[in-house]
Chain A
Amino acid sequence: MNLLDFSNSIEGYLLVSSILLTLGIFSVLTRKNAIGILLGVELILNAAGINFVAFSKFHSAAIDGQMVTLFIILIAAAEAAVALAIILRFYRLKQTIDADEASLLRN
């Protein structure tokens, strides 16, 4: 038996998704580049998507989990479109996409 053969159990999927979630949160917290933050968010959303598909395959008779994944992909695309527009405007105004430059509004 191969220890790394996860193809027929849910653990492998959950492991990948939790790693993706951790990486996503980590890059949101540490990245200074606005696009990097955006990529972190995409990782979090995809982690959730993997979870839904995995649970839908192993734990539930219905396909509603897979439906949710489709919606997550759709919403992530919409969000990315708006986010890129905002970051583009940020660049126009400040000539940089360093998130630390967003410091006009503070106590």
Chain B
Amino acid sequence: MLVSLKAFAPELTLVGFLSLLFLLDGFVPKLRENRFPLIWVIVSCFAAGVATAVGKGLSGDFFSGLVTETGLVAFFRYFFFFACGVTAYVTLGSKEIEERGRSEFSLLILCMTFGMSLMVLANHFLMLYIGIETVSIISFVLAGFNRESSRSNEASFKYLVYGAVSSGLMIYGISLVYGYTGALSYPAIAEALIKNNGTHPFVFYLALVMIYAGFAYKISSFPFHFWTPDVYEGSPTPVATFFSVGPKAAGFGALLHFVLTALSQKQEGGVFTPIAGIQLAPVMALISAATMVVGNLSAIAQTNVKRMLAFSSIAHVGYVLMGFVVMTPAAFSSIIFYLIAYCAMNLGAFWIVGIVTDEKKGSELSDFKGMGWRTPVMGVCMAIFLFSLTGIPLFSGFIGKFLIFGNLIQSQSYLWLALLGVLNSVVSLYYYTKILRAMWLEKPESSDSAELRLPLSQLVGLLGLALPTVILGLFFSPVLEMAQRWITQ
């Protein structure tokens, strides 16, 4: 039991800080008014990250097999704590989250980070379900955080309906798998499946589809992506910033662990093959293709930048899902690399949308007119983020895509998928440059052509996200090697 608690140290740290904030919020109302809660979030994320680093090396199952520790879990913890910390930092300078709501906001994102950790730790369906619901229920509240705005309310209502239905389908699918295999923990399910020697009843496949509904909703993959644009557009921008990175990565982490431990067998050389009777690759290839095509083609027609970036985030989910088609360690480490690159560039792009929204009270393309000339640093950073999202060489997004496509081509199968991915990247260049054109090539309206000075904290933060995006595009091998170590641990 004590060992289990030790393995759970980062989450316990997070919960400890969360409870303290809760008490402070209740008993010292003065603290509620200023920046304190958000700085508290950054400190607690840092502390949880330190706890992860200290507890490194523990691996195996804990809490009677409910959770499991692997190198991957450690990576995703760092990822979530970083994303949560950056979100708090973004919120410090944002006008969309009203001052008196900041302590509630801080409590909610900390709690959501805890839920995301549970999702990737889960080695048991019950734990997975609890993790997903923890994240979902808090997301509904966060999406509707701007209480007086009809759009924010509508975002949370739509999120609620999609979330509740897909997680309901998921738990129903889990119940069918439980009936079929008599087990709830991933390794036990794999064992039972292997025993059946490749002949599974139809219901089992139906159950897998239902379970995928839950994952698909969390990562916003086809066919459960419909909520994404509406929710991102309606919710306050700092919330959308967090949604576009945190829960998505958590969904990928949980899906990765589920596919590897419950549906696959580890072979010599670390290659995973699906258990007999389960055809993962063709299904994943089709889902990946549909996701990126739908995301990119819908993004073209958008005039609202937040909505456009929401569709672009769907397209990126399609690229990452390509890694699931080839189940080699190299493919998994390219997923990890892609997630790291995506984290920096997407947080940055959404942050700039937030800054523009604060200034112009909207995020339409016309609000971006001339923004590059008004604040050159922000304009250059946005160019870096968008080029990287497109996958233009010299930026981290290019390396991420190159690794993922490369693995697909190396595997000698699904070449059409790699080709489709490249074509999609070309399409995405069109709508990303629409934003850049508005920022740099169009004149600002004469009423507000004055220089827009950003506070130093925002400049430092933006450069802090833009630099890794450039550096990872040039010196990617250390991070890639780190990703490989995380996979094999």
Contacts and interface: CB of A to CB of B under 8 A. Distances in A.
Interface in B99-140: 125-126, 129-130, 133, 136-137, 140
B160 A89 contact: no
A44 B133 contact: no
Given A105-B234, A107-B301, A47 B172 contact: yes
Contacts, number: 116
Contacts of A52: 175, 178
B165 A102 contact: no
Interface of A is mostly: helix
B184 interface: yes
A87 B233 CA distance: 19
Interface residues on B, range: 35 or more
A102 B151 CA distance: 9
A104 B160 contact: no
Contacts of A99: 157, 161
Interface string B386-399: 00000000000000
A30 B215 CA distance: 24
A54 B171 CA distance: 15
Contact of B168 (A48, A51, A65, A87): A48
Contact of B182 (A21, A59, A82, A90): A59
A51 to B, nearest CB: 4
Nearest to B176: A51
A75 B160 contact: no
13 contacts: A17-B175, A37-B161, A40-B165, A41-B164, A45-B168, A51-B176, A55-B182, A75-B129, A79-B133, A89-B147, A90-B153, A90-B154, A90-B157
Q: Which 8 A-B pairs have the closest CB atoms?
A: A44-B168, A51-B175, A55-B179, A41-B164, A105-B230, A48-B172, A48-B171, A102-B154
Interface of B: 125-126, 129-130, 133, 136-137, 140-141, 144, 147, 150-151, 153-158, 160-161, 164-165, 168-169, 171-172, 174-176, 178-179, 182, 184, 229-230, 233-234, 298, 301-302
Interface of A: 17, 21, 24-25, 28, 34, 37-38, 40-41, 44-45, 47-48, 51-52, 54-55, 59-60, 64-65, 67-68, 71-72, 75, 78-79, 82-83, 86-87, 89-90, 93-94, 99, 102-107
